[in-house]
Copies of this chain bind each other. A is one copy, B any other.
Amino acid sequence: MDFLISDEQKQLQDLIHQFIQKDYPFDVREKLVKSEDGFSKDFWKTFSQFGLLAMPFSEEDGGYNGGPVDVMIILEAFGTGLIVEPYIPNIVLSGNLVSKLGTKEQKDSILPNLLDGDMQLAFAFSEPQSRFDLNDVTTSAEEDGDGFKLNGFKSVVMNGPAADKLIISARTSGSQLDKNGISLFIVDRDTKGVSLRDYSNIDGSKASELTLENVVLTKEALLGDLGKAFSTIEEVVNLATLAISAEAIGIMQKMNELTLEYTKTREQFGQALSQFQALQHRMVDTFMVHEQTKSLLLMAAAKMNDKSDDAVKSISALKYQVGNAAKLIGEEAIQLHGGMGVTEEMSIGHYFKRLTTIRTIFGNADYHLKKYSSL
Protein backbone atom coordinates (compact mmCIF):
# COMPACT_ATOMS: atom_id res chain seq x y z
CA MET A 1 0.00 0.00 0.00
CA ASP A 2 1.20 3.46 -0.74
CA PHE A 3 -0.52 6.81 -1.05
CA LEU A 4 2.15 8.60 -3.02
CA ILE A 5 1.43 9.94 -6.46
CA SER A 6 4.06 9.49 -9.14
CA ASP A 7 6.49 12.19 -10.22
CA GLU A 8 4.55 12.67 -13.47
CA GLN A 9 1.35 13.09 -11.50
CA LYS A 10 3.05 15.60 -9.24
CA GLN A 11 4.19 17.57 -12.30
CA LEU A 12 0.67 17.54 -13.69
CA GLN A 13 -0.65 18.88 -10.41
CA ASP A 14 1.99 21.62 -10.25
CA LEU A 15 1.28 22.61 -13.84
CA ILE A 16 -2.38 23.23 -13.09
CA HIS A 17 -1.64 25.06 -9.86
CA GLN A 18 0.80 27.33 -11.69
CA PHE A 19 -1.74 27.94 -14.43
CA ILE A 20 -4.32 28.97 -11.83
CA GLN A 21 -1.92 31.25 -10.05
CA LYS A 22 -0.66 32.92 -13.20
CA ASP A 23 -3.57 32.89 -15.63
CA TYR A 24 -6.74 32.15 -13.69
CA PRO A 25 -7.13 34.59 -10.82
CA PHE A 26 -10.63 35.17 -9.48
CA ASP A 27 -11.35 38.27 -11.56
CA VAL A 28 -10.44 36.48 -14.78
CA ARG A 29 -12.74 33.64 -13.84
CA GLU A 30 -15.54 36.10 -13.12
CA LYS A 31 -15.19 37.69 -16.55
CA LEU A 32 -15.29 34.28 -18.20
CA VAL A 33 -18.42 33.29 -16.33
CA LYS A 34 -20.17 36.44 -17.45
CA SER A 35 -19.04 36.08 -21.06
CA GLU A 36 -21.27 34.72 -23.83
CA ASP A 37 -19.64 31.30 -23.84
CA GLY A 38 -19.31 31.12 -20.08
CA PHE A 39 -15.75 29.80 -20.32
CA SER A 40 -12.60 30.41 -22.33
CA LYS A 41 -12.03 28.52 -25.53
CA ASP A 42 -8.43 29.70 -25.39
CA PHE A 43 -7.86 28.15 -22.00
CA TRP A 44 -9.54 25.03 -23.31
CA LYS A 45 -6.88 24.90 -26.00
CA THR A 46 -4.25 25.46 -23.32
CA PHE A 47 -5.61 22.45 -21.44
CA SER A 48 -5.31 20.46 -24.63
CA GLN A 49 -1.68 21.55 -24.92
CA PHE A 50 -1.11 20.58 -21.29
CA GLY A 51 -2.32 17.11 -22.24
CA LEU A 52 -5.26 17.30 -19.86
CA LEU A 53 -7.90 16.61 -22.48
CA ALA A 54 -6.13 13.49 -23.70
CA MET A 55 -5.34 12.19 -20.23
CA PRO A 56 -7.96 9.49 -19.63
CA PHE A 57 -7.90 8.03 -23.14
CA SER A 58 -6.00 5.01 -24.37
CA GLU A 59 -2.95 5.50 -26.52
CA GLU A 60 -4.75 4.14 -29.55
CA ASP A 61 -7.41 6.79 -29.06
CA GLY A 62 -4.66 9.40 -28.97
CA GLY A 63 -4.54 9.62 -25.19
CA TYR A 64 -2.12 9.09 -22.32
CA ASN A 65 -3.70 6.06 -20.69
CA GLY A 66 -4.46 8.02 -17.54
CA GLY A 67 -6.51 6.31 -14.88
CA PRO A 68 -8.93 7.43 -12.18
CA VAL A 69 -6.05 8.73 -10.08
CA ASP A 70 -5.00 11.10 -12.87
CA VAL A 71 -8.55 12.33 -13.33
CA MET A 72 -8.73 12.88 -9.58
CA ILE A 73 -5.52 14.91 -9.60
CA ILE A 74 -6.72 17.14 -12.43
CA LEU A 75 -10.12 17.83 -10.91
CA GLU A 76 -8.89 18.37 -7.38
CA ALA A 77 -6.50 20.99 -8.72
CA PHE A 78 -9.29 22.49 -10.85
CA GLY A 79 -11.37 22.78 -7.70
CA THR A 80 -8.84 24.95 -5.93
CA GLY A 81 -9.02 27.44 -8.83
CA LEU A 82 -12.74 27.06 -9.40
CA ILE A 83 -12.09 26.31 -13.06
CA VAL A 84 -15.27 26.59 -15.03
CA GLU A 85 -14.14 24.99 -18.28
CA PRO A 86 -16.34 21.94 -18.93
CA TYR A 87 -13.91 19.07 -18.40
CA ILE A 88 -16.35 16.61 -16.88
CA PRO A 89 -19.10 16.88 -19.54
CA ASN A 90 -16.64 16.82 -22.43
CA ILE A 91 -13.91 14.49 -21.34
CA VAL A 92 -15.03 12.35 -18.44
CA LEU A 93 -18.57 11.73 -19.67
CA SER A 94 -18.90 12.20 -23.42
CA GLY A 95 -15.35 11.49 -24.54
CA ASN A 96 -15.23 8.37 -22.44
CA LEU A 97 -18.49 7.09 -23.89
CA VAL A 98 -17.17 7.52 -27.41
CA SER A 99 -13.88 5.93 -26.47
CA LYS A 100 -15.54 2.92 -24.82
CA LEU A 101 -18.37 2.32 -27.27
CA GLY A 102 -17.58 4.08 -30.53
CA THR A 103 -16.94 2.49 -33.89
CA LYS A 104 -13.75 3.43 -35.67
CA GLU A 105 -15.67 5.96 -37.75
CA GLN A 106 -17.30 7.51 -34.69
CA LYS A 107 -14.00 7.74 -32.87
CA ASP A 108 -12.19 9.20 -35.85
CA SER A 109 -14.79 11.87 -36.37
CA ILE A 110 -14.88 12.91 -32.72
CA LEU A 111 -11.88 12.06 -30.56
CA PRO A 112 -9.10 13.91 -32.41
CA ASN A 113 -11.22 17.07 -32.44
CA LEU A 114 -12.19 16.65 -28.81
CA LEU A 115 -8.62 16.06 -27.67
CA ASP A 116 -7.38 19.03 -29.67
CA GLY A 117 -9.97 21.18 -27.95
CA ASP A 118 -11.81 21.93 -31.19
CA MET A 119 -15.05 20.14 -30.50
CA GLN A 120 -17.46 20.42 -27.59
CA LEU A 121 -19.69 17.57 -26.44
CA ALA A 122 -22.50 17.11 -23.97
CA PHE A 123 -24.14 14.03 -22.54
CA ALA A 124 -27.92 14.14 -22.07
CA PHE A 125 -28.74 11.44 -19.52
CA SER A 126 -31.14 13.09 -17.12
CA GLU A 127 -34.90 13.60 -17.21
CA PRO A 128 -37.09 15.58 -14.82
CA GLN A 129 -38.43 12.54 -13.01
CA SER A 130 -35.23 10.50 -13.11
CA ARG A 131 -33.38 12.51 -10.51
CA PHE A 132 -30.17 10.51 -10.10
CA ASP A 133 -31.31 7.19 -11.53
CA LEU A 134 -29.54 6.57 -14.81
CA ASN A 135 -31.90 3.72 -15.64
CA ASP A 136 -34.98 5.95 -15.48
CA VAL A 137 -35.36 6.81 -19.17
CA THR A 138 -38.61 7.69 -20.90
CA THR A 139 -37.16 9.40 -23.95
CA SER A 140 -37.87 6.97 -26.73
CA ALA A 141 -36.00 5.90 -29.82
CA GLU A 142 -38.14 3.90 -32.22
CA GLU A 143 -36.57 1.98 -35.05
CA ASP A 144 -37.61 3.85 -38.17
CA GLY A 145 -36.75 2.31 -41.49
CA ASP A 146 -33.00 1.96 -41.48
CA GLY A 147 -32.54 4.35 -38.59
CA PHE A 148 -34.25 5.75 -35.49
CA LYS A 149 -36.78 8.36 -34.52
CA LEU A 150 -36.28 10.07 -31.14
CA ASN A 151 -38.91 11.75 -29.00
CA GLY A 152 -38.70 13.02 -25.48
CA PHE A 153 -37.24 15.54 -23.11
CA LYS A 154 -33.88 15.67 -21.41
CA SER A 155 -33.08 18.02 -18.54
CA VAL A 156 -29.80 19.39 -17.18
CA VAL A 157 -27.62 18.78 -20.18
CA MET A 158 -24.32 20.07 -18.79
CA ASN A 159 -22.34 22.04 -21.37
CA GLY A 160 -25.35 21.89 -23.68
CA PRO A 161 -24.96 25.51 -24.82
CA ALA A 162 -21.44 24.94 -26.19
CA ALA A 163 -21.93 21.41 -27.45
CA ASP A 164 -21.44 20.70 -31.15
CA LYS A 165 -22.72 17.18 -30.68
CA LEU A 166 -24.95 15.61 -28.05
CA ILE A 167 -24.90 12.07 -26.81
CA ILE A 168 -28.42 11.15 -25.77
CA SER A 169 -29.70 8.21 -23.77
CA ALA A 170 -33.02 6.91 -25.01
CA ARG A 171 -35.13 3.87 -24.52
CA THR A 172 -35.31 1.41 -27.37
CA SER A 173 -37.15 -1.24 -25.34
CA GLY A 174 -38.39 -2.07 -21.86
CA SER A 175 -40.28 -0.03 -19.34
CA GLN A 176 -39.35 3.22 -17.60
CA LEU A 177 -36.90 1.82 -15.04
CA ASP A 178 -35.45 -1.16 -16.94
CA LYS A 179 -31.70 -1.29 -17.14
CA ASN A 180 -32.02 -3.17 -20.36
CA GLY A 181 -33.23 -1.37 -23.42
CA ILE A 182 -31.30 1.88 -23.02
CA SER A 183 -29.31 3.03 -26.05
CA LEU A 184 -27.07 5.98 -26.84
CA PHE A 185 -27.18 8.21 -29.88
CA ILE A 186 -24.78 10.82 -31.19
CA VAL A 187 -26.72 13.78 -32.54
CA ASP A 188 -25.57 17.05 -34.09
CA ARG A 189 -27.07 20.02 -32.30
CA ASP A 190 -28.60 21.41 -35.50
CA THR A 191 -30.44 18.21 -36.42
CA LYS A 192 -34.07 18.81 -37.28
CA GLY A 193 -36.38 18.30 -34.31
CA VAL A 194 -33.65 18.97 -31.75
CA SER A 195 -34.27 22.09 -29.72
CA LEU A 196 -32.11 23.29 -26.89
CA ARG A 197 -33.03 25.82 -24.29
CA ASP A 198 -29.76 27.09 -22.91
CA TYR A 199 -29.39 28.54 -19.45
CA SER A 200 -26.86 29.53 -16.81
CA ASN A 201 -26.47 27.82 -13.47
CA ILE A 202 -25.91 29.49 -10.14
CA ASP A 203 -22.37 28.08 -10.03
CA GLY A 204 -21.29 29.75 -13.28
CA SER A 205 -21.66 26.65 -15.45
CA LYS A 206 -24.06 26.39 -18.34
CA ALA A 207 -26.58 23.75 -19.29
CA SER A 208 -29.56 23.15 -21.53
CA GLU A 209 -32.93 21.53 -21.62
CA LEU A 210 -33.34 19.38 -24.66
CA THR A 211 -36.57 18.66 -26.49
CA LEU A 212 -36.60 15.93 -29.11
CA GLU A 213 -39.48 15.94 -31.56
CA ASN A 214 -39.43 13.23 -34.18
CA VAL A 215 -35.69 13.49 -34.57
CA VAL A 216 -34.77 11.21 -37.45
CA LEU A 217 -31.35 9.58 -37.20
CA THR A 218 -29.46 7.15 -39.40
CA LYS A 219 -28.28 3.91 -37.85
CA GLU A 220 -24.76 5.36 -37.72
CA ALA A 221 -25.97 7.60 -34.91
CA LEU A 222 -26.23 4.63 -32.55
CA LEU A 223 -23.31 4.54 -30.09
CA GLY A 224 -22.62 1.02 -28.84
CA ASP A 225 -24.97 -1.95 -28.97
CA LEU A 226 -28.70 -1.48 -29.15
CA GLY A 227 -30.29 -1.54 -25.70
CA LYS A 228 -27.05 -2.34 -23.91
CA ALA A 229 -25.76 1.09 -22.94
CA PHE A 230 -26.64 1.09 -19.25
CA SER A 231 -23.52 -0.45 -17.79
CA THR A 232 -21.25 1.89 -19.74
CA ILE A 233 -23.34 4.90 -18.75
CA GLU A 234 -23.01 3.82 -15.15
CA GLU A 235 -19.28 3.34 -15.55
CA VAL A 236 -18.62 6.82 -16.94
CA VAL A 237 -20.93 8.44 -14.43
CA ASN A 238 -19.04 6.67 -11.65
CA LEU A 239 -15.81 8.11 -12.96
CA ALA A 240 -17.49 11.51 -13.25
CA THR A 241 -18.65 11.14 -9.64
CA LEU A 242 -15.09 10.52 -8.58
CA ALA A 243 -14.01 13.52 -10.65
CA ILE A 244 -16.57 15.92 -9.23
CA SER A 245 -15.81 14.66 -5.72
CA ALA A 246 -12.17 15.51 -6.31
CA GLU A 247 -13.21 18.96 -7.50
CA ALA A 248 -15.28 19.37 -4.34
CA ILE A 249 -12.34 18.38 -2.18
CA GLY A 250 -10.14 20.93 -3.92
CA ILE A 251 -12.81 23.53 -3.25
CA MET A 252 -13.13 22.53 0.40
CA GLN A 253 -9.41 22.83 0.90
CA LYS A 254 -9.41 26.28 -0.65
CA MET A 255 -12.43 27.41 1.37
CA ASN A 256 -10.79 26.26 4.58
CA GLU A 257 -7.62 28.14 3.65
CA LEU A 258 -9.48 31.31 2.72
CA THR A 259 -11.46 31.17 5.94
CA LEU A 260 -8.42 30.63 8.10
CA GLU A 261 -6.71 33.55 6.40
CA TYR A 262 -9.76 35.79 6.76
CA THR A 263 -10.23 35.06 10.45
CA LYS A 264 -6.58 35.83 11.08
CA THR A 265 -6.97 39.34 9.70
CA ARG A 266 -10.55 40.27 10.59
CA GLU A 267 -10.80 41.81 14.05
CA GLN A 268 -13.86 41.91 16.28
CA PHE A 269 -14.01 42.84 19.95
CA GLY A 270 -10.36 43.86 19.85
CA GLN A 271 -8.88 40.60 18.61
CA ALA A 272 -8.60 38.59 15.43
CA LEU A 273 -11.57 36.26 14.89
CA SER A 274 -9.08 33.40 14.77
CA GLN A 275 -8.33 33.96 18.46
CA PHE A 276 -11.84 33.00 19.59
CA GLN A 277 -11.72 29.44 20.87
CA ALA A 278 -15.25 28.61 19.75
CA LEU A 279 -14.28 29.53 16.19
CA GLN A 280 -10.95 27.72 16.43
CA HIS A 281 -12.66 24.49 17.33
CA ARG A 282 -15.04 24.86 14.42
CA MET A 283 -12.15 25.46 12.04
CA VAL A 284 -10.46 22.36 13.42
CA ASP A 285 -13.62 20.43 12.63
CA THR A 286 -13.80 21.68 9.05
CA PHE A 287 -10.10 20.92 8.65
CA MET A 288 -10.62 17.38 9.89
CA VAL A 289 -13.67 16.80 7.73
CA HIS A 290 -11.70 17.84 4.67
CA GLU A 291 -8.90 15.45 5.57
CA GLN A 292 -11.26 12.56 6.21
CA THR A 293 -13.18 13.14 3.01
CA LYS A 294 -9.93 13.31 1.10
CA SER A 295 -9.01 9.92 2.55
CA LEU A 296 -12.18 8.48 1.03
CA LEU A 297 -11.31 10.14 -2.28
CA LEU A 298 -7.92 8.45 -2.33
CA MET A 299 -9.49 5.17 -1.36
CA ALA A 300 -12.14 5.35 -4.08
CA ALA A 301 -9.66 6.43 -6.75
CA ALA A 302 -7.31 3.60 -5.84
CA LYS A 303 -10.13 1.06 -5.84
CA MET A 304 -11.30 2.25 -9.25
CA ASN A 305 -7.75 2.06 -10.46
CA ASP A 306 -7.52 -1.52 -9.25
CA LYS A 307 -10.98 -2.35 -10.63
CA SER A 308 -11.67 -3.62 -7.16
CA ASP A 309 -14.98 -5.38 -6.45
CA ASP A 310 -16.08 -2.69 -4.08
CA ALA A 311 -15.06 0.24 -6.30
CA VAL A 312 -18.65 1.27 -7.00
CA LYS A 313 -19.57 1.00 -3.35
CA SER A 314 -16.54 3.18 -2.54
CA ILE A 315 -17.75 5.82 -4.96
CA SER A 316 -21.07 5.96 -3.15
CA ALA A 317 -19.34 6.16 0.22
CA LEU A 318 -17.25 9.01 -1.16
CA LYS A 319 -20.07 11.01 -2.70
CA TYR A 320 -22.19 10.54 0.42
CA GLN A 321 -19.39 11.98 2.52
CA VAL A 322 -18.69 14.73 -0.02
CA GLY A 323 -22.33 15.76 0.23
CA ASN A 324 -22.12 16.09 4.00
CA ALA A 325 -18.68 17.66 4.05
CA ALA A 326 -19.63 20.18 1.39
CA LYS A 327 -22.58 21.35 3.42
CA LEU A 328 -20.59 21.66 6.63
CA ILE A 329 -17.48 23.26 5.18
CA GLY A 330 -19.36 25.52 2.79
CA GLU A 331 -21.78 26.85 5.36
CA GLU A 332 -19.12 27.27 8.04
CA ALA A 333 -16.84 29.16 5.67
CA ILE A 334 -19.61 31.63 4.85
CA GLN A 335 -20.61 32.00 8.49
CA LEU A 336 -17.04 32.69 9.57
CA HIS A 337 -16.67 35.26 6.81
CA GLY A 338 -19.72 37.04 8.21
CA GLY A 339 -21.37 39.57 5.93
CA MET A 340 -18.44 39.51 3.53
CA GLY A 341 -19.16 35.86 2.82
CA VAL A 342 -22.47 36.63 1.17
CA THR A 343 -21.25 39.29 -1.24
CA GLU A 344 -20.55 38.65 -4.91
CA GLU A 345 -17.36 40.59 -4.46
CA MET A 346 -15.31 37.97 -2.62
CA SER A 347 -14.35 34.64 -4.11
CA ILE A 348 -15.52 32.66 -1.07
CA GLY A 349 -19.19 32.94 -2.06
CA HIS A 350 -18.43 31.61 -5.53
CA TYR A 351 -16.59 28.61 -4.14
CA PHE A 352 -19.62 28.10 -1.93
CA LYS A 353 -22.03 28.15 -4.84
CA ARG A 354 -20.08 25.60 -6.83
CA LEU A 355 -19.63 23.40 -3.77
CA THR A 356 -23.36 23.59 -3.16
CA THR A 357 -24.32 22.46 -6.65
CA ILE A 358 -21.80 19.60 -6.43
CA ARG A 359 -23.73 18.31 -3.41
CA THR A 360 -26.46 17.39 -5.88
CA ILE A 361 -24.66 16.56 -9.12
CA PHE A 362 -24.57 12.80 -9.84
CA GLY A 363 -26.52 12.14 -6.66
CA ASN A 364 -26.82 13.78 -3.27
CA ALA A 365 -25.81 12.32 0.10
CA ASP A 366 -29.16 10.58 0.65
CA TYR A 367 -29.09 9.00 -2.77
CA HIS A 368 -25.62 7.61 -2.30
CA LEU A 369 -26.34 6.42 1.22
CA LYS A 370 -29.19 4.39 -0.20
CA LYS A 371 -27.03 3.15 -3.05
CA TYR A 372 -24.25 2.25 -0.61
CA SER A 373 -26.72 0.30 1.53
CA SER A 374 -28.01 -1.61 -1.46
CA LEU A 375 -24.60 -2.72 -2.73
Contact = CB atoms under 8 A, between A and B. Distances in A.
Contacts of A276: 277
A278 B279 CA distance: 8
Interface of A is mostly: helix
Nearest to A284: B278
A313 B281 CA distance: 38
A320 B280 CA distance: 32
- Kindly report how many copies of this chain are found in the complex they form together: 2
Nearest to A275: B277
A281 B280 CA distance: 12
A278 B276 CA distance: 8
A277 B276 CA distance: 7
Contacts of A281: 278
A169 B190 CA distance: 74
A277 B278 CA distance: 5
A16 B277 CA distance: 41
Interface string A224-261: 00000000000000000000000000000000000000
A278 B277 CA distance: 5
Nearest to A281: B278
Interface in A271-302: 276-278, 280-281
Contacts of A277: 276-278
Contacts of A278: 277-278, 280-281
A217 to B, nearest CB: 47
Contacts of A280: 278
A280 B281 CA distance: 12
A281 B277 CA distance: 10
A281 B278 CA distance: 7
Interface string A51-89: 000000000000000000000000000000000000000
Interface string A256-269: 00000000000000
A202 to B, nearest CB: 31
Interface in A101-130: none
A280 B279 CA distance: 12
A280 B276 CA distance: 12
A184 B278 CA distance: 55
A369 to B, nearest CB: 15
A268 to B, nearest CB: 13
A346 to B, nearest CB: 26
A276 to B, nearest CB: 6
Interface centre among A276, A280, A281 (most CB of B within 10 A): A281
A337 to B, nearest CB: 19
A267 to B, nearest CB: 16
A240 to B, nearest CB: 34
Nearest to A282: B278
A252 to B, nearest CB: 22
Nearest to A276: B277
A242 B277 CA distance: 39
Interface in A322-355: none
A105 to B, nearest CB: 55
A281 B285 CA distance: 15
A364 to B, nearest CB: 20
A277 B281 CA distance: 10
6 contacts: A276-B277, A277-B277, A277-B278, A278-B278, A278-B280, A278-B281
Interface of A: 276-278, 280-281
- Which 6 pairs across A and B sit closest by C-beta, in order of nearness? A277-B278, A277-B277, A278-B281, A278-B278, A276-B277, A278-B280
